[in-house]
Amino acid sequence: MPVSLLSSVLVAPILTVPADVNIPPNTSGLPGIDQLRTIVGAIMTVGLILSVLALIVAAVVWGFGANSSNPHMASRGKTGVLVSCGAAVLCGAAVTLVNFFWHVGQSV
């Protein structure tokens, strides 16, 4: 009898499997979630406006550099145009990127 008691004690913990944990995002769990969404949307708008401003400034620098035969200034202007366009893409695609990686994380 002691062998069966020992085997049941050793096998029992292995057979118990915990249930799946399912915790969805809670949109009403904390006060101020709606205000936080408004603030994040305003920050995205400011980021897009600053990207347009940076694009204009970089294009002007690029133009001055090209017309004054200053390759260093023209190169900096080109880099500024690319960086400002990249910043605009990131600001515009932020929600889509976060949702994509959220769904990737949920499928793991």
Q: What is the DSSP string of 5-34?
A: HHHHHHHHHHH--PPPP-----TTSSTTHH
Tokens of 69: 């035969």
Q: What is the mean pLDDT of residues 6-12?
A: 57
pLDDT above 90 (res 107)? no
| Residue 41 confidence (pLDDT) above 60 | yes
Q: Check residue 3 and give its pLDDT.
A: 58
**pLDDT, mean over the chain:** 86
Residue 17: band (very low, low, confident or very high) from pLDDT cuts 50, 70, 90: low
Question: What predicted TM-score, i.e. pTM, was given to this entire model?
Answer: 0.70
Is 80 within 8 Å of 58 (Cβ atoms)?
A: yes
Percent of the chain with pLDDT over 70: 83
pLDDT digits (tens, 9 = 90+) for 54-95: 999 999 999 999 999 999 999 999 999 999 999 999 999 999
Residue 87 to residues 18, 51, 66, 92, 102, Cα–Cα distance (Å)? 44, 6, 24, 9, 21
Say how far apart CA 89 and CA 8 lie, in whole Å. 60
57-60-63 Cα angle (round to 5):
150
Rg of the chain on CA atoms, in Å: 28
